[in-house]
Amino acid sequence: MNTVLITGCSSGFGVDIARYFLDRDWQVIATMRTPREDVLPTSERLRVLPLDITDPESIQHVVEAAGPIDVLVNNAGFGAASPVELTPMATARELFETNTFGTLAMTQAFVPQFRERGAGVIVNVTSSVTLKALPLVGVYSASKAAVNAFTASLAAEVEPFGVRVRLVLPGRSPETRFGDNARAHMHGMEHEAYAELVTSVLARMRDDSGPLTHSSDVAEAVWRAATDPSSPLRIPAGEDAVAWANAG
């Protein structure tokens, strides 16, 4: 029976990705900062482990506790919104520490077992905001674009060992806590120089009438990345993400 380890399973995409694999009879190791059994269905094939992807000791504990796995899904991350000029460096560092360095650290932790075994899949979940320039998410987008860059290089490096690497790029989803997290890290939104732009962008963010991404879209894309060797390196997830990818 195949085993998948998924980060960021306390809410949002991570929950539905875990459910999707459970429904297909996989062993699932769901990780989160503070373990919550109540967010996922009870199953003998489910293990919930604590994990802080910014803490090397926490990562090492998960590697040891998980044992051999077949697929690693790096889904954990958070969002922030503010003009680049007004983004505090502390927020920028936090974004890169979690979204970029945390994903890189998890990848480095599991590549050795995949390489030595000659099999395995790494799926890095980033964002469709990396496909086009959008205001107020510049630093967040940069943290995700960095993952896109090292993932593409990694894919070429480990392919000779029989290891596959894929990117899943979700669009905007009303079903996740991204908006709540981003609002908690908003800065400079009342600055008069950006007031008109902020008003316009926030109005578009609240508008759910156009194409959107649903958690099921992301779960399906991650499943395809994990199980279909013919899948492309970059897989947009959600109607809006697909449209952006095709336009680019």
Phi and psi based region of residue 121 (left: phi greater than 0; alpha: psi -120 to 50; beta: remaining): beta
Give me the catalytic one of 20, 132, 144, 194: 144
Catalytic: 140?
yes
Q: Residue 196: what pLDDT?
A: 84
Q: Residue 184: what pLDDT?
A: 52
The rounded distance, in Å, linking the Cα atoms of 104 and 101 is 5
Q: Name the stretches of the chain with pLDDT < 70.
A: 175-189, 207-209, 248
Q: Residue 248: what pLDDT?
A: 62
Q: Residue 181: what pLDDT?
A: 53
Q: Residue 26: what pLDDT?
A: 98
Are 57 and 64 within 8 A, CB to CB? no
Q: Residue 202: what pLDDT?
A: 75
Domain ranges across the chain: 3-243
Exposure on the CB side of residue 125, measured as CA atoms within 13 A = 30
The values of phi and psi at residue 97, to 5°, are -60, -40
The rounded distance, in Å, linking the Cα atoms of 17 and 23 is 10
Q: Residue 72: what pLDDT?
A: 98
Question: The tokens 């290891």 sit on which residue?
Answer: 163
Q: Residue 121: what pLDDT?
A: 98
Q: Residue 218: what pLDDT?
A: 96
201 alpha carbon, distance to own chain's centre: 23
The rounded distance, in Å, linking the Cα atoms of 172 and 170 is 7
Select 3-243's CATH number: 2.60.40.1930, 3.40.50.10480, 2.30.30.40, 3.40.50.720. Answer: 3.40.50.720
Catalytic: 132?
no
Q: Residue 117: what pLDDT?
A: 97
Give the DSSP letter of residue 26: -
The rounded distance, in Å, linking the Cα atoms of 33 and 72 is 17
